[in-house]
Structure 1
Amino acid sequence: MTPLRQRMLHDMQIRNLSDNTQKSYLLQVSSFARHFRRSPEMLGPEEIRAWLIYLREERKLAPASLSPAIGALRFLYRVTLKRDWSDEDFPLPRKPVRLPVVLSLEEITTFFDSIPSLKHRTILMVAYAAGLRVSEVVHLKVTDIDSKRMVIRVNQGKNRKDRYVMLSPRLLEVLRTYWQDAHPRDWLFPGDIPGHPITRTAVARICALARQRSGITKPVTPHSLRHAFATHLLETGTDVRRIQLLMGHRSLATTSRYLRIATSTVCATASPFDLLPHPAPIPSPPPAPEYF
């Protein structure tokens, strides 16, 4: 490990960045240095610009996929190397605004009914019923289910924040049935490797197979269930601020995007077309004469 890599790692550890962020940043900077075959200390804004053009034009990365590279370089040069560079030296591409595709209640029911495994069904039901990220679901422990207070404790979710979410009475019944069948001891959903939880990749495969079995044509991922959780709460009148707390969003603006897809918002206003008088019925054409 080079001294610069070690220093950057220490800077990230001091700031308590997540393990995944540390690994991602080191990988991004390493790729940047290998591309130019020089130490990052010898590179500057022109190389950063050329690197981003290479990632966009040659590697065909989407704008959202450039964010980790830009974040890593910003941290390296501003924090570790203490370069006094502006935001213009780290151009962030504008991301297209896309709204998530949301499953209806009927589609959610069909989706769950298509999962034959009790364990797999329970995993995805937890994701929907509590609005959890897949990383939060797989890291749940048996002790995180508090049936006395009817809450689920999420330990160190995104941005290293703990939070509590509701424990649905119906979900509690499902969890008790699952526990009586599997008897998990530590991790609520243990994986194939002893002492480790099920992986996010495994949950993604479970979700993809369930979508295939259900016949649902909409895209369905574990995160789709989280989108459905927030949207369905909005449609039943739950306050946006409360949903923000349940979802663990740092910004209310992140939660507010669900207002653009909730039917309670989109369909709350009548179309002016409905105010138009009904047009006179279109007369039927006269019957064609018969010649035979």
Structure 2
Amino acid sequence: MVDVPTAPAGLALPAQELQIRAQLLGQGGPLAASMRAVEAREWRSAGWLTTCWLWVQCLVVVRGFRNATTVADYVEAVARFIGWAEEAGLDFRQLTISELDGWQRWLYTRRRLSASSRRQALMAVRSLYSYLDSRGEGTDVTKGYKGPKRVTTQAKKYSTVQLKALFAVVHEGDSELIVQRDRAMLLLLLAAGLRREEISTLRVDQLDLVSDRKGQVHVFGKGAKERTVPIVGPVVRELVKWLEARSRIEELHTDAVFVNLSRSGDKGAGLGVKGVENTVKRTARRAGLGSWGVHRFRVTFATMLYDDGTDIERIRVLMGHESIETTRRYLAVSSRMNRHSLKAHRQHAALGTVPDDLPLWAQDIERKRDGSGILPPR
């Protein structure tokens, strides 16, 4: 358990909320780090530190946010927002639309944030004001406020060649134990389509390995949604091997499936989101990939299922998507989707030409077509 700092001056939380604070800080991870940074800073706004803790506890306890990284990102964005308001001499509880515009301009001109990053920052601030409004502690100035336009980019996946390159270099780890962990983790990312937070917080009791060939992963995803993903084949065998090796780690002090094995860090603790990202980055660089990402395994999982004939609704459930439109965006880069193209004879009909590689008798037939692909009646 991580040491919990004494409550700072100005923090006025009831006993139960102080206990929740201790639990969240004691768990460590990105959210604990963000809240420690908030507590270490001197704020001019009276009561802000207490409000911040109550808002965070509402997200985690009441609304059921299981994604600690998302809440941590929200905290950091809102802390910057409150800092901006204090520097501008503004009361964040009585902000106007024009002042909110000023904050967005500040993000663009001073912090050089992209439209996507400014939109994410607005989502975090909107969450805070929604909380205050629901408790009668302030007006939600963000209600109806239109932020930067959402930038939709095409999902990216790993090709079969890239996957082979990745798994070919996994054995180059610093030790056999690290090799076993990384191989099992990367294969599980591919075979179950887990988010980085889901795999970093995955516990041993969430794995149901009924044999060395078949099993299930019980996942707690975004929005407190639980789903079960079946797994078969090599990934099950690799997980069995890794769990056996994991049980022999003397420094082990967590129930996380994937643990930190570096002596420079907290050896035996959960690997964490950053550890998962670093593992993928390190492996991708060894494989000589120009670009990579943890999320690409998730996109690859979805597109491979679709190419193998799985229906979109089933894929949505396995991915834990709330909207099927999100699933469709992933599948846009699948091989099955890309098999559909306008046939060459349609283009030749529009151009009034025929393919050069056809025999003369076939070219004659093509010239007689009316453009619809149908020969005129005799």
TM-score, length of structure 1 as denominator length:
0.84
Corresponding residue of 1:162: 226
Deviation for aligned residue 1:11: 4.3
Cα distance change on mapping 1:76 and 1:138 into 2, 3 Å: closer
Separation in structure 1 between the aligned mates of residue 246 and residue 268 of structure 2, nearest angstrom: 15
1:94-133 → structure 2 map (5 Å cutoff):
94-116=149-171, 117-133=179-195
Across the two proteins, how many residue pairs are aligned to each other?
279
Deviation for aligned residue 1:172: 1.0
Deviation for aligned residue 1:85: 4.7
Deviation for aligned residue 1:156: 2.3
1:28-47 → structure 2 map (5 Å cutoff):
28-37=77-86, 38-47=90-99
The partner residue of 1:206 within 279, 289, 293 is 279
Q: Which moved more, 1:133-142 or 1:16-25?
A: 16-25
RMSD: 2.6
- The percent of aligned pairs where both chains have the same amino acid is 23
Corresponding residue of 1:144: 206
Deviation for aligned residue 1:195: 5.8
8 Å Cα contact 2:95/2:141 also seen in 1: no
Local SS of the residue matching 1:35: helix
Separation in structure 2 between the aligned mates of residue 129 and residue 280 of structure 1, nearest angstrom: 43
Separation in structure 1 between the aligned mates of residue 107 and residue 238 of structure 2, nearest angstrom: 46
Cα distance change on mapping 1:159 and 1:14 into 2, 3 Å: closer
Matched, 1:59 2:111: yes
Separation in structure 1 between the aligned mates of residue 342 and residue 116 of structure 2, nearest angstrom: 36
> Structure 1 unaligned runs (5+)?
282-292
Local SS of the residue matching 1:220: coil
Separation in structure 2 between the aligned mates of residue 142 and residue 135 of structure 1, nearest angstrom: 15
Separation in structure 1 between the aligned mates of residue 127 and residue 242 of structure 2, nearest angstrom: 44
* Aligned-partner residue type, residue 167 of structure 1: I
Q: Which moved more, 1:236-245 or 1:190-199?
A: 190-199
Deviation for aligned residue 1:170: 2.0
Corresponding residue of 1:188: 257
The partner residue of 1:5 within 32, 49, 52 is 52
Separation in structure 1 between the aligned mates of residue 142 and residue 167 of structure 2, nearest angstrom: 49
Larger Rg: 2
Deviation for aligned residue 1:159: 1.5
Deviation for aligned residue 1:36: 2.7
Which protein, 1 or 2, shows the higher relative CO under an 8 Å CA cutoff with sep ≥ 6? Answer: 1
Matched, 1:268 2:340: yes
* Aligned-partner residue type, residue 102 of structure 2: A
Cα distance change on mapping 1:115 and 1:274 into 2, 3 Å: farther
Separation in structure 2 between the aligned mates of residue 235 and residue 113 of structure 1, nearest angstrom: 24
Deviation for aligned residue 1:267: 1.4
Local SS of the residue matching 1:202: helix
8 Å Cα contact 2:115/2:150 also seen in 1: yes
Separation in structure 2 between the aligned mates of residue 110 and residue 42 of structure 1, nearest angstrom: 55
Local SS of the residue matching 2:336: helix
* Aligned-partner residue type, residue 129 of structure 1: A
8 Å Cα contact 1:132/1:226 also seen in 2: yes
Local SS of the residue matching 1:152: strand
Separation in structure 2 between the aligned mates of residue 159 and residue 130 of structure 1, nearest angstrom: 19
Corresponding residue of 1:83: 139
Q: Which moved more, 1:208-217 or 1:24-33?
A: 24-33
Separation in structure 1 between the aligned mates of residue 218 and residue 334 of structure 2, nearest angstrom: 26
Separation in structure 1 between the aligned mates of residue 207 and residue 55 of structure 2, nearest angstrom: 38
Matched, 1:229 2:306: no
Q: Which moved more, 1:48-57 or 1:265-274?
A: 265-274
Corresponding residue of 1:74: 126
Cα distance change on mapping 1:153 and 1:176 into 2, 3 Å: closer
Local SS of the residue matching 1:92: coil
